[in-house]
């Protein structure tokens, strides 16, 4: 079976290491651990890997966050992957730093990447892995916060938690969304 694993983020050196790019960071870690590399393809950077009998198509959209749906739609169609076999990796302000929450569907919670995906696909019924980035910002400072980098303490925590997110992706592909939710949510 084939799965599309989409890590949300923004391309360009100015966004490397930002909270908003945690989806890219998780996919980079997964690719590195699997000894594979991304190729610059249409609408994004793509890599293919296997987890036992499952094929994972890893996608880092090159459309910038606010137009992520274009890349998602293209690669779902290109690889002939059904929507229920897609997992979107996204930063989440409502979760403490490093917390993982896997969900089937749900709202976009104001996240522009998720909002555009739902708009383009015509549904919010797709799987997500939310990675907590915290919310320690002053009133009106949300944009600067998500486009900023982690504090040294938070960076250490993120480094410890990204491998767990990679394991959650594998568990999702091998055993399904319910199994991944039961074993990784809140940990």
The CA distance from 168 to 187, in Å, is: 11
Domain residue ranges in the chain: 2-184
Residues 16-69: tens digit of each pLDDT: 999 999 999 999 999 999 999 999 999 999 999 999 999 999 999 999 999 999
DSSP state of 123: -
Helix (H/G/I), strand (E/B), else coil: 24? helix
Residue 138 has pLDDT above 90, yes or no: no
What confidence tens digit (pLDDT) does each residue in 104-115 have? 999 998 899 999
Burial group, residue 88, by CB count within 10 angstroms (0-12, 13-18, 19+): buried
Three-class SS state of 9: coil
Task: Please check the confidence at residue 175 and state whether its pLDDT lies above 90.
Answer: yes
**Could you say which of 3.40.50.620, 3.40.50.1470, 3.40.190.10, 3.10.20.30 is the CATH number of the domain covering 2-184?**
3.40.50.1470
pLDDT exceeds cutoff 80 at 186: no
Q: Which of 20, 48, 111, 116 is catalytic?
A: 20
Asked if 36 contacts 60 with a C-beta cutoff of 8 angstroms, the reply is no
Q: Please determine, for residue 148, whether its predicted confidence score (pLDDT) is greater than 90.
A: yes
Q: Is 20 a catalytic residue?
A: yes
Region at 106 (left for phi over 0; alpha for psi -120 to 50; beta for the rest): left
Residue 167's pLDDT is what? 98
**9 CB-near residues (< 8 Å, 6+ apart):** 15, 18, 20, 21, 22, 23, 24, 25, 60, 61, 65
Q: What is the pLDDT of residues 73-128, one digit of tens each?
A: 999 999 999 999 999 999 999 999 999 999 999 999 889 999 999 999 999 999 99
Name the pTM for this structure: 0.96
């Amino acid at each position: 079976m084939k799965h599309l694993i989409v890590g949300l983020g923004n391309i360009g050196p100015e966004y490397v290491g930002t909270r908003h790019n945690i989806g890219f960071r998780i996919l980079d870690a997964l690719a590195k651990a699997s000894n594979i590399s991304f190729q610059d393809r249409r609408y994004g950077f793509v890599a293919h890997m296997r987890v036992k009998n499952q094929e994972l198509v890893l996608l880092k959209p090159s459309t910038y966050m606010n137009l992520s749906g274009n890349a998602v739609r293209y690669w779902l169609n290109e690889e002939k992957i059904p929507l229920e076999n897609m997992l979107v990796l996204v930063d989440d302000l409502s979760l403490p730093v490093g917390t993982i929450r896997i969900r089937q569907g749900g709202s976009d919670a104001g996240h522009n990447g998720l909002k555009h995906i739902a708009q383009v696909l015509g549904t919010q019924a797709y799987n997500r892995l939310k990675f907590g980035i915290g919310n320690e910002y002053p009133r009106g400072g949300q944009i600067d916060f998500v486009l900023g980098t982690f504090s040294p303490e938070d960076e250490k925590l993120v480094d410890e938690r990204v491998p767990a997110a990679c394991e959650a992706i594998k568990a999702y592909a091998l055993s399904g969304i319910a199994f991944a939710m039961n074993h990784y949510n809140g940990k």
